[in-house]
Structure 1
Amino acid sequence: MQWLEVRRHAPTKKGAARGRGSHLSAHGVALARAVGVGLGPFAHVVTSASPRAIETAVALGWAVDDTVVLPSGYVAGEIEHHDQWAWPRPYVRYAELIANGGGLAAVAAEHRRIWTEVVRSVPDGNGALIVSHGGSIEPTLVSCLPDADHSLWGKAFGHLDGVRLDFEDGRFTRAHLHRAPSTRA
């Protein structure tokens, strides 16, 4: 068995500081350090190509082995930016949207392909880490475990929230959701 940890990036700078120096806020770096203490070990670390994802992996305490371009989970006409925060049962809603077979289903399938490729790259008994983005992790998680009771998974992922997925016999078998401490500075 292998396992895959997927985490949303840490909090970023806002206002005039955004885009200058590090993309993460000082609070984001401190929070990632705290969360990183309990993570791992990882045989392979992959992030989105976004600087905030790369910096999050480093702040978590892990060197980045590779970056990938990940398509956005926000698909015009299906799900707009941060819609998931207004849904009372976001994972149930994502399952409904994916079942429609539109653009979100294609995005989730592409992420699932990448997640599968990453976890297959590690030896048996080892894990991998992916740092990604809210709005993309949630539909992919539903896509990886389409028969799970999505109503039990709670709210959409906040900063540094994540999931550990067990991977056995070429497929994802269980999800263990993890919530980060409060991200308010």
Structure 2
Amino acid sequence: MKGIVFTEFLEMVESTFGLETVDYIVENSDLKSEGVYTSVGTYDFIEMVNLITKLSEKVNIPVNNLIYEYGKYFFNVLTNSYPEIFKLYNSPLNLLSSIESHIHVHVRKIYPEAELPTFEVLEETDSNMKMIYKSERAMYMFALALIEKTFEHYHDKATVSYEKLNEEGTKVKFEIEKVV
């Protein structure tokens, strides 16, 4: 997993829960990196699992809720770091439908070793979309937050529902209905 995901996670934890909480989760997690991350480095996903789990225990918030909140936080990182991408699209559905064909293509150019989820668009109209999220990391709540924030960014509203297609959450169907 790319280091930017770790560095921004720790930034979110610090701004939300304080530096003492960051120190606690780093010191009490089994981290091969010892909690030292660079945004361009690559780290084992299990370290993120350890950090989120320790944070959940420390602040008494379920892991999936923390992943969702981190997704919302990370969306702002994306819009601030890559505003040109969001200018290329005139609607949230256009952006979401281009994740595989455009956005992930560019991410792989910058980070060739990045392990990205896949998004398969099953149906798309002007007002709705059905897509399948697949990732061994099962961070579908992160994806949900990014989808919702995409609509917010374009000043649109949508109802987003999801169905886990397997117990682990590595395959999830999202249904997005634009609110008119």
TM-score, normalized by the shorter chain, greater than 0.5 = no
Larger radius of gyration: 2
TM-score of the superposition, structure 2-length normalised? 0.30
Which has the larger share of helix?
A: 2
Q: Which has the higher contact order (CA 8 A, sep 6+)?
A: 1
